[in-house]
A and B are shown apart, each in its own frame.
Chain A
Amino acid sequence: MIDVKHVTKRFGEGQTAVTALGDISLAIPEGSFFTLLGPSGCGKTTLLRLIAGFELPTEGEIALDGDSIGHLAPNNRPVNTVFQSYALFPHMSVARNVGFGLEMLKRPKAEIEATIHEMLELVQLGEFASRRVDQLSGGQQQRVALARALAPRPKVLLLDEPLSALDLKLRKGMQSELKRLQNETGITFVFVTHDQGEALAMSDQIAVMSAGAVRQVGTPEEIYTAPQSRFVADFIGDTNIVNATLLGFDGDKAKIRFGEGTPLTVQTASTSLTPGAVHVALRPETIDVVDEGSDRALLRGAVVDSTYFGAGSQMLVRLDDGVDVHVQVATSRAIGARVGLECDTSMLHVLED
């Protein structure tokens, strides 16, 4: 279990100081696949480097299983990293790369040999032990980097966008491979990525970050179906964000209405919002298209675009207030046609800004 407590990281001094992380607190459960997700520059890599020990926090504390590690040098932390550029030692064979950590820990030779063998089998590179690293393909180098970081059996494995240099097909393969490795070893994985699809597919928990702050922590399902803020809703998948009026609260639900329509009771990210104009998240796959005049229609607009993708069509509907909404339908309507949009009100979600 990693406990990040009120960590702030500033680079530079005085006037020119840049705050990369501002007072972040985060609990990463032991043995989980935990993803730090956010756009570039959001501070996710800085947080990873703080856990690894390449940077020291300006303020705050990082604890691993209760022991404070925030100020230890990287070589004194039971934490290993898979680097974005792999950073394999070019002057060593694959086997020596994998055994380097154990060699530095002065483990017995027999144990090192056995672990190298075991790790290379684990990443399916058994026959490459004596190769030089520059004789390997990108995907193979990736596996060597993984084996090297796993060999010392760290308590935590940090992965800094390790799949970004691979092509799409390899990336898909490595995603399930990483998931398998995490299950087999039981080591806590902290995975940094800007790819929301990757994060949803692999993680036990996701922390969505932006501008040096954690915006939301939750399981992929929570993040996807119940985004708290407009930023998270926008960042995860192609959500539609529409305007509504907040009328008040009913317990932990919100009462809203679209335009002059009937009041609806829906889920909300917060019960401390001020009544008035709010944004509501609406996933494309939860929307049904009905006739404009239907009394089930919650929103009304005109079809402006339609794209056929085999299993159905994706339509773009421009609402009367000018907001564009993506809708997935089995049969598309003609461009220019007026339509009504209906959706399961339990899937609507009021957002914080």
Chain B
Amino acid sequence: MSSATHIPPTDAATSLHAAQAARARQVRRTRLFLLAPALGIIGIFGLFPLSIALVYSLLEPGTYGGVEWVFSFDAYVQFLFERDIFDDTLAFNSAYLQIFGRSFGLAITTMIGTLMLGFPVAYFIAARPPEQRNFWLFAITLPFWTNLLIRTYSMLLIVRDEGFVNLMLMKIGIISEPLEMLYTDGAVLAGLIYSYLPFMILPIYASLEKFDFSLLEAGHDLYASRTQVFRHIIVPITRPGIIAGCVLVLIPALGAYITPELLGGGKKLMIGNLIALQFGSGRNWPFGAAAALILMAVVLIALLVSLRAGAPKEGGHG
């Protein structure tokens, strides 16, 4: 007879319970161990710098850059108000809000522009025979092999007064004077669209690649016109790709620094330039940190709202 048979049922249940608990503890430990690298990276490269920014935004600027370890809310106040140098009263100042507004306007226009250009390109690639697609994808990603700074400088050479476009137009005789294209919002927009186009094409392509093109025939067969097929079939099915592309373009476009600096000539400040300025010649680190955090908060809120609004609604006729 084995000893196990002598153990009363309650004891058996207790020991079983204990064994299960031990097993669960071990699973938890293993899981934590396996998660550690990911958590570590998020902590070191994500949360830690953000905490520094948050702390710095709540301090006072040092005279030669850096921070004075004195708690102050001034950086956030400065964003919306101007302090009178004589009597210390606060007056509303919309200059920084305008910079935010301009940046958002430009970023949203960039997003729309890349979507208009990128969707047809992604569709074109997805409609190629599979063996040709890799070539087109390679062509799309080719610019990434060159540094963004160099590409932006090349863009500058193309659009400046004695640049390629103006020389060509004057040679053909369409214009007699060079068009002023460099250092305009148009030049910045063109530069941003050029830089971020692949970020729109690739996610949309990924969602179109799995697309069953016989659905288009099914749509036409069921009396949908081309426009209706696009609206009721293509767009809803590729929506995840469109949303991903828009997010991937909008967010970096908002914080773009090199393109507005070079192609806009730094004439009109963008958020990215404003923030960079504070850590450079502006010597106002707390304000730079505050502006960065405000930007992040606005983007996060906008993203959450738009994702909620864009979530697929499947009610049906049921």
Contact = CB atoms under 8 A, between A and B. Distances in A.
B277 to A, nearest CB: 46
Given A85-B212, A87-B212, A91-B236, A75 B221 contact: yes
Contacts of B214: 83, 85, 87
22 contacts: A54-B221, A74-B220, A75-B220, A75-B222, A75-B223, A75-B225, A80-B222, A81-B221, A83-B214, A87-B217, A87-B218, A89-B215, A91-B236, A93-B318, A94-B316, A101-B223, A104-B228, A104-B232, A112-B317, A113-B317, A129-B317, A149-B221
List 9 tightest A-B contacts by C-beta distance, closest first: A93-B316, A130-B318, A101-B222, A87-B218, A95-B317, A104-B223, A74-B220, A87-B214, A104-B224
A65 B294 CA distance: 69
B317 A116 contact: yes
A123 to B, nearest CB: 16
In this complex, the member of B232, B237, B318 whose beta carbon has the largest number of chain A beta carbons within 10 angstroms is B318
Interface in A69-92: 73-75, 79-81, 83, 85, 87-92
Interface residues of A, number: 35
In this complex, the member of B220, B221, B236 whose beta carbon has the largest number of chain A beta carbons within 10 angstroms is B221
B314 interface: yes
Contacts of A81: 217-218, 221
B-side interface size class: 20 to 34
Nearest to B215: A87
B237 A83 contact: no
A114 to B, nearest CB: 11
A116 B318 CA distance: 9
B233 interface: yes
B312 interface: yes
Contacts of B236: 91
Contacts of A88: 218
A350 to B, nearest CB: 44
A54 B221 CA distance: 8
A148 B318 CA distance: 15
Contacts of B312: 91
Nearest to B236: A91
A96 interface: yes
Given A90-B237, A92-B314, A95-B317, 5 more contacts: A74-B221, A75-B225, A83-B217, A104-B224, A149-B221
Given A85-B214, A89-B215, A73 B317 contact: no
Contacts of A148: 222
Interface string A103-119: 01100000011001000
Contacts of B316: 92-96, 129-130
A108 to B, nearest CB: 13
Contacts of A83: 214, 217-218
B209 to A, nearest CB: 15
Nearest to A96: B316
Nearest to B218: A87
A10 interface: no
B314 to A, nearest CB: 6
B217 A74 contact: yes
A152 interface: yes
A83 B220 CA distance: 13
A165 to B, nearest CB: 13
Interface in A58-75: 73-75
Nearest to B229: A75
Interface in B279-318: 312, 314, 316-318
A99 interface: yes
A333 interface: no
